[in-house]
Structure 1
Amino acid sequence: MLTYMKHQAGRFENVDTLEGCQIVRVVAPTQQEISLLQDTLHIPADFLMAAMDRDERPRIEIDDPCRLVILRIPHHDESSDTPYVTLALALILTPTHIITVCSQESMLWRDLLTVRHRLPPPEDRVSFLSALFLQVARQYLVLLRQIRDQADAAENAIHGSMKNEMLIRMLNLEKCLVFFTTSLRANEPLWDRFRRIHGRDLTEDEKDLIDDIKIEFRQAQELADIYSNILSGMMDAFASVIANNLNVVMKLLTSITIILMLPTLIASIYGMNVELPLQHSPHAFLIPMVLSFVLSAIAITVFFFKKWF
C-alpha cells in the first residue's frame, strides 16, 4: 500500500499523486508498487525490499543519490500470543522524497501525525529524522511500561490461582522483552554512524538532539534489561513455588496413605483364616478397632510434628 503525503503548516496531509508529495509511506508493497517506485524515483530494489525481512538488522547504506536507514521499531498486536514485537523500518532518502517502508502497518506514523508539536519539514532532513527517531524511542518506553503493567497483573493473578494460562502469559511477555532488548541494542550503533555522516553540517541544536535520541534509547534499553531480569526472576520463583507445592501435596498424600494403611493392615491380619490371639474373646472386634485407632493416632502425631500436614 502506498500513501503520499505533503508537509503543510507543520502538519502532513495526504495527496493523490507521487509527483506532488514529499513523503511516501509504503506498507507491505506489492511487486507492482515496488516497480513503480523503482522506476519513478530510481531507488535500488534491495532498498525497497530490505524492510520485508523480519530479521533485518539496523544499518545505514549509501548508494548515491539514495541513502538507506534501517532501524527496529516496536509493534503492538493485541491479537497475537506475543503482543509486543519489533519490525524493520526502512527510511530511504532521495534528493526529492523520503520513503518509509515497513512490512506491517505500524503505530509510528499514527503517533507522529497526532503529536501536539509541529513536525519539522522533510527538507530539514536531520531535524525530521531526529523527530522520527525520538518518537520511536518514546514508543519503546510506552510499550515497556505496558509490559510492566501486564506482568504485574499476571503476577497478582498467579498469587490467587497458579494456572497454566498465567504462566504462559508471563513467558510470552518475557519473550517480548527479549525482542525489545535485542532490537534496542542493534539500534544503538546507528546514532554514532548518523552523526558521523552529517557531522560537518550539524548545528549545535542538532547535535544536542542526537544526544537526546541516544539518551532516550539508552533509557529504553536499560528499562528493557531491568524488566527482563525481573520477569526472569519471577518465572524462576514461580517454578520453585510450583515444585514446592508439588512436594507438599506429595507429602500430604503419602501421610494419608500411611495412616489409612495401618487400620487396613490390622484388619487384614485379623481377617486371616488361621488361629489368632484373642479371637474367641468377647472383645475380639473392639481390640483391632482400638489398636487401629491408636496406631493411626500415633502416625498422625508423628506426621504433625514433622510438619507433613
Structure 2
Amino acid sequence: MMRVFSTVSGQIEQIDKPEPGSWLCLSNPSDVELANVSQSAGIDLADLRAPLDDEERSRVDVEDAYTMIIVDIPTVEERGGRDWYETIPLSIIVTEDLIITVCIQDTNLLHPFMEGSIRGFNTYMKSRFILQVLYRNATTYLRYLRFIDKESDKLELKLRHSMQNREIVMLLELSKTLVYFATSLKSNEIVLEKLTSLERIRQYPDDEDLLGDVITENKQAIEMANIYSGVLSGMTDAFASIVSNNVSNVMRIFTIISITLSIPTLIFSMYGMNFQNGMFGMPLTGKPWGFAAIVIVSMVLSVVVTWFLTRSRLFK
C-alpha cells in the first residue's frame, strides 16, 4: 500500500501523488509500487526491498542521490488470544525532494504522523522527521518493555501454584522477546551514533536537543531490556523448581493416601481367604461383633500410620 502525505498550511494531508517536500509511505508494498517508486525517485530497487526482509540489519547507507536509514521497530502480533512482541525493519530514505518510509506492514509507529498528532511535524523538515520517528520508536520500546514487565508479574502470581509448563513456556517467550529487543536497540544505537556525524542530514538548530533525547531514550530502553532479561532468566529457573516442588508435594499426598489405604485393604484381604476352621482360623471370625472390631482396628491403624507419615522427614 502506498500513501503520500504533505504539510499544507501547517496541517498533514494525504495527497494523490508525490511532490517536492512530501512524505511517501510504503506499507507492505507490491512489486509494481516498488518499481514505480524506484524509477520515479531514482532509488535502487534492492534498497527499497531491503526492509521487507525480517532479518535485515540496522544501518545507514549513503548513496549519491539519497541516504537510507534502516532501524528495527517493535511490533505486536496477536496469536492465540495473546500479544506477542517482535521487531521488524523500517527504512527511511531521504532524497533531495522526498522522504520515503518502507515497512513490511502498516505499523502503528507512523500512524500519529499520518494523523498530524505529532507536535512540530512537517514533511518539509526531513531531518527532524527522522529524529521524531526515532524518538517515537525508542518510547515505543519503553512502553512495550513495561507491558512485558506487567505480563511477567501476572505470570509470577500464576506460577506460585502451578504444576504445568504453560506459564514457564510463556516466560521463555518473554525472555526471547527481551533478547530481540536488546539486540535491536543496540543496533539502533549504532545508527544514532552515525547520524550525529552525518553531514548530509542537515539538522535544524532545535534538533540537537531532540537528538539528545532520542539517544537518552534509546539507552534507557537498552538498560531496561537488559535488566528485565536478567530478572526473567532468574525467574524462569526459580519457577521451574517451584513447579517441580509443587508436583512433588502432590505426589507426597498421593503416597500417604496410598499407604494409608493399603492397611485396611491388607486386613480385609486376609479375612477374605476363608480360613475359618482349624488352627488357621482368622481371629474374631466367630464373634458377632468381630466385623465391627476389625473395622475399628483397621481405622485406628490407618490413623496412626497417617499421623506418622505426615510427620516423617521422608514426606516433608
TM-score range, shorter chain: 0.7 to 0.9
Question: What is the alpha-carbon distance in structure 1 between the residues aligned to residue 88 and residue 309 of structure 2?
Answer: 58
CA-atom RMSD, angstroms?
2.9
Question: What is the alpha-carbon distance in structure 2 between the residues aligned to residue 207 and residue 35 of structure 1?
Answer: 36
Q: 1:12 to 1:230 in 2, by over 3 A?
A: same
Question: What is the alpha-carbon distance in structure 2 between the residues aligned to residue 120 and residue 20 of structure 1?
Answer: 13
Question: Does the 8 Å CA contact 2:69/2:91 hold for their aligned counterparts?
Answer: yes
The aligned residue for residue 301 of structure 1 is 307
The aligned residue for residue 276 of structure 1 is 281
Task: Give the unaligned 5+ runs of structure 1.
Answer: none
Residue 197 of structure 1 deviates from its aligned partner by: 1.9
The aligned residue for residue 77 of structure 1 is 77
Question: What is the alpha-carbon distance in structure 1 between the residues aligned to residue 223 and residue 246 of structure 2?
Answer: 34
Letter in 2 for 1:19: E
Q: 1:211 to 1:144 in 2, by over 3 A?
A: same
Question: Does the 8 Å CA contact 1:11/1:118 hold for their aligned counterparts?
Answer: no
Question: What is the alpha-carbon distance in structure 1 between the residues aligned to residue 273 and residue 111 of structure 2?
Answer: 85
The aligned residue for residue 298 of structure 2 is 292
1:175 aligned onto 2:180: no
TM normalised by structure 1 equals 0.87
The aligned residue for residue 119 of structure 1 is 121
Which stretch of structure 1 is more off in the superposition, 179-188 or 26-35? 179-188
Question: What is the alpha-carbon distance in structure 1 between the residues aligned to residue 229 and residue 56 of structure 2?
Answer: 23
Question: Does the 8 Å CA contact 1:15/1:21 hold for their aligned counterparts?
Answer: no
Question: Does the 8 Å CA contact 1:74/1:139 hold for their aligned counterparts?
Answer: yes
SS class of match (1:17): coil
Question: Share of identical aligned residues, percent?
Answer: 31
> For each residue in 1:153-190, what CA deviation from the matched residue of structure 2 results, as whole angstroms up to 9, or x when unmatched?
44445557777665554444333323322211221111
Residue 269 of structure 1 deviates from its aligned partner by: 2.5
Question: What is the alpha-carbon distance in structure 2 between the residues aligned to residue 8 and residue 165 of structure 1?
Answer: 53
The aligned residue for residue 255 of structure 1 is 256
The aligned residue for residue 104 of structure 1 is 105
Which stretch of structure 1 is more off in the superposition, 141-150 or 126-135? 141-150
Question: What is the alpha-carbon distance in structure 2 between the residues aligned to residue 139 and residue 205 of structure 1?
Answer: 22
Which stretch of structure 1 is more off in the superposition, 98-107 or 230-239? 230-239
Question: What is the alpha-carbon distance in structure 2 between the residues aligned to residue 5 and residue 280 of structure 1?
Answer: 99
Which stretch of structure 1 is more off in the superposition, 246-255 or 146-155? 146-155
The aligned residue for residue 65 of structure 1 is 65
Question: What is the alpha-carbon distance in structure 2 between the residues aligned to residue 279 and residue 218 of structure 1?
Answer: 84
Residue 209 of structure 1 deviates from its aligned partner by: 3.1
> For each residue in 1:124-162, what CA deviation from the matched residue of structure 2 results, as whole angstroms up to 9, or x when unmatched?
433221122111111111222222233334444555777
SS class of match (1:18): coil
Question: What is the alpha-carbon distance in structure 1 between the residues aligned to residue 199 and residue 116 of structure 2?
Answer: 28
The alignment of Structure 1 onto Structure 2 pairs a total of residues equal to: 308
Question: What is the alpha-carbon distance in structure 2 between the residues aligned to residue 200 and residue 48 of structure 1?
Answer: 19
Query: Aligned ranges for residues 232-243 of structure 1 at < 5 Å?
Result: 232-243=233-244
The aligned residue for residue 49 of structure 2 is 49
Question: What is the alpha-carbon distance in structure 1 between the residues aligned to residue 259 and residue 161 of structure 2?
Answer: 31
SS class of match (1:118): coil
Residue 71 of structure 1 deviates from its aligned partner by: 0.2
Question: What is the alpha-carbon distance in structure 1 between the residues aligned to residue 89 and residue 285 of structure 2?
Answer: 91
Question: What is the alpha-carbon distance in structure 1 between the residues aligned to residue 285 and residue 7 of structure 2?
Answer: 109
Question: Does the 8 Å CA contact 2:160/2:242 hold for their aligned counterparts?
Answer: no
Residue 249 of structure 1 deviates from its aligned partner by: 0.8
SS class of match (1:29): coil
Question: What is the alpha-carbon distance in structure 2 between the residues aligned to residue 169 and residue 126 of structure 1?
Answer: 40
Question: Does the 8 Å CA contact 1:270/1:288 hold for their aligned counterparts?
Answer: no
> For each residue in 1:26-82, what CA deviation from the matched residue of structure 2 results, as whole angstroms up to 9, or x when unmatched?
111111111101111110011100011011110011221121110001112345655
1:22 aligned onto 2:27: no
